[in-house]
Structure 1
Amino acid sequence: MASLFASSGDGLASRLGLSPWVLYSAAGFTAYALLCSSLRFQRLRTMRKRLNYPDRESLSRMTNEDAQKIVSYISLYEFPLLYDFSLRFAIFKTYAVDNIGNLLYKVSDLARPAKASKRYDDTQVLFASYAEFPPGSEYLAKSIARTNFLHAPYRQSGKISNEDMLYVLFESMYQPIRFMRLYEWREMADMEVAAIATFWKYIGEMMEIDYEAELGKKEWKDGIDFLEDVERWAIGYENEHLGPSPDIAKLGQVLVDLLLSAYPKFSREPGYKILMVLMGERMRDAFSFPEPGVPESALTYPLLLARKLFLRYLCLPRFYPATFISQPDPVTGRIQHYHWLKDPWYSPSSFWSRWGPEGLMRRAFGLKVAGDGGAAMLPDGFLFEDVGPQDKMGKGVDETARLARVAQTKVSASACPFALPRKG
């Protein structure tokens, strides 16, 4: 049989005027590409079958627990790089909102270059905690409670409004879906879109966002319906609140400088131009950033397309999850952080992290490695009372504990938030 196949291949190659090895290589490449593409969709098929969400109608019975499981596999297995980047992008965009950006520039460590690194990573570990810990869990409640504690003075004084909170929630839902549709190897399926919306809906409930006050309703048929309703509302909110101001421009420059400083010097200028392209005109105008040239756009989009095709057809799916934070230490409760930006906040120091391939590469480019900064970086990990401005580290322990108890009462893991009551 093998000799028959070989002779057939040789004959076809001869008729085409090609070397047989060219034909065999092309066949092998095609088979590998088809294998990669098939395996990359296997996890989606398995998740859909296991959780039993085969169609749009079934999404109305999605539970909070299932939504968190789906978001976890999206962020840790399917799209870890761009999912993480899209959330960072979403939060950055909210800083262009007049109320939020102007307030942050006046009061937040994010606007202080020497302190911005910690506050940036604090936001990242909180968002990672939302996805890592399931609804009803102690540590999800603690992460939400710390967020609520830090926001409380500004919400109580009216400096942060309910609609501001809802807009941040919207961007956190919308940008990952948008980024996957435009730039990833596949767009999200309806089940995944519904899960992201369901996930953020219960996070918003734990943050005491009043949906009815802004949307005029409190019932939706599924997560997609909820997302679409919030999106329609967000268009009007952006038209009213997204715009330039001197303080927002200064805040944006501090944060872009922080982002670029985490990468080698040779990559910062092209990285800046690519970032300007990804922002789009409206976001650039809000931060008063310059418009990128045609060459930058001509480079950015083909690179993203090449990445998309490479992942889809030439990369096998991940066999191990990406790791952003650890599980809490069973004795101390501390959580370690592995995806820091510039300074190794909450990141454990080990021989491998300092002298392994990544550590050596970072050293070669003049970047920091885990362990730099010593005990000040809290290498044993963080407790949630460590999260926040440096003048609030270790403060609000009792109030955060009280808020955690309140947050746990807001959401049930097994609840179907879009299951409407039956009419009698």
Structure 2
Amino acid sequence: MSSNHGWSPLTSGGLFWLIIPLLLSILCYIVAWRTQRKRGPEEASDHINNLGSMTLEEAYLIKARIAELEFPLIFSAATNAVFFKAEAIPSIAKLVSRAAQRSTPRNGPGATPLDLLGRPGAPATKAAIDRVNYIHGFYRPSSKMSDDDLLYVLSLFALEPIRCIDRFEWRRLTALERRALATLWKALGEALRIPFDRLPSDEEGFDDDALKWLSELEVWGREYEERHREKTPESVFLGEKQLDAWVRGVPRFLRRWARGCVAVLIEPGLRQAMGIETPSTLAIVLVQTVVSVRKFIRRRLYTL
């Protein structure tokens, strides 16, 4: 008499039929989730176009999706690197260098870009703006911090995340997404009392056209860089200090190689102004390969 233990989910066949439906369910969930995320911007675009103008709250929600869900790594890195790029301007480098050499801050805590880009009208966002205006009040009356320098830094905050996402991510930002970021930074510039009189359309007004404001700001910022960016002892000091901070977690015997890889990510003109060595061909090939592979993988996953 043969013994028949019957079907068990722990047998190889039973385990197979348990795993396959589970994997298919996960796959369907991923596809549905990504489809919903891709529909989100389109639905938001239709809604905003119907309204005719974008509110700060709508711009904030689009920014939050970009910065927190879709491109958190690149958005954060680009925003945090703004001051590094600004330090290639001698007047900014001199001011930051003095602050960096002090052992303790003089004016208390400041505010991060993340604080400033909080939900519009929220108490925390208002408090962050007030703190920055308070700190600026120590430097602007004495011309240690010029309106042009502030406008240039604002241009970097508004444009660097867009540039870096376009350069390092699997897709470029849409006009709607650019408009949202421009809307937020334009409003923030006004709250920080940064004049836009250097922009051609300032006198006649931008008529709620944030993209026009962003375009003119980009042209002005590029010209400002060309006129003022140069290598100074302060910029070299700050460049070395920042590079050391970026590679601090790397084992000591790999730090020189890591510095070369970081240098690949820095545009040539900025490298020269900050006194950073030109990276080796091997480092360039390695970093470009990693960036390309990352783009490919993210594109495949997103379009799954």
Please classify the TM superposition score into its range, dividing by the shorter chain length. Answer: 0.7 to 0.9
Counterpart for residue 188 of structure 1: 173
1:136 pairs with 2:130: no
Q: Deviations over 1:163-212 (max 9, x none)?
A: 11111111111111111111112211111111111111111111101112
Q: 1:70 to 1:265 in 2, by over 3 A?
A: farther
Partner of 2:65 in structure 1? 73
Measured after TM superposition, the shift of residue 90 of structure 1 is: 2.1
Which residue identity does 1:43 align to in structure 2?
Answer: R
TM-score normalised by L of structure 2 = 0.81
Amino acid at match of 1:162: D
Structure 1 residues 79, 253: closer, same or farther in 2, change over 3 A?
Answer: same
The alignment status of 1:226 with 2:213, answered yes or no, reads: yes
2:263 and 2:278 in contact (8 A); partners too? yes
Contact kept in structure 2, 1:98 and 1:243, CA below 8 Å: yes
- Pick aligned residue for 2:134 from 131, 138, 149: 149
Which piece of structure 1 moves more, 145-154 or 210-219?
A: 210-219
Q: How far off is 1:304 after superposition?
A: 0.5
Distance change >3 Å, CA 152–CA 299, structure 1 → 2: same
**C-alpha contact (below 8 Å) 2:199/2:216 kept by paired residues:** no
Q: Is 1:36–1:312's contact at 8 Å kept on the other side of the alignment?
A: no
> Is the counterpart of residue 92 in structure 1 residue 84 in structure 2?
yes
Matched, 1:42 2:43: no
Structure 2 runs not aligned, ≥5 long: 1-22
Give the number of aligned pairs. Answer: 275
Note the alpha carbon deviations across 1:263-303, whole angstroms, 9 max, x for none. 45465333311221111110001111111121111111110
| In structure 2, distance between residues paired with 1:301 and 1:53 | 38
Amino acid in structure 2 at the alignment position of 1:303: V
Match of 1:246 among 233, 245, 249: 233
TM-score (norm 1): 0.59
Answer yes or no: is the 8 Å Cα contact 1:36–1:315 preserved in 2: no
Matched, 1:126 2:112: yes
- Distance between the aligned counterparts of 1:314 and 1:270, measured in 2? 31
Alpha-carbon deviation of 1:71?
0.8
| Aligned counterpart in structure 1 of residue 144 of structure 2, from 143, 151, 159 | 159
The one of the two structures with greater contact order (alpha-carbon pairs below 8 A, sep at least 6) is 1
- What is the identity, as a one-letter code, of the residue corresponding to 1:193? R
For 2:77 and 2:264, how far apart are their aligned partners in 1?
15
Report the Cα distance in structure 2 between the residues aligned to 1:164 and 1:37, rounded to whole angstroms. Answer: 46
Quote how far apart the aligned CAs of 1:314 are. Answer: 3.4
Maintained 8 Å contact 1:97/1:243: yes
Are 2:274 and 1:282 equivalent residues in the alignment? no
- Give the aligned partner of residue 200 of structure 1: 185
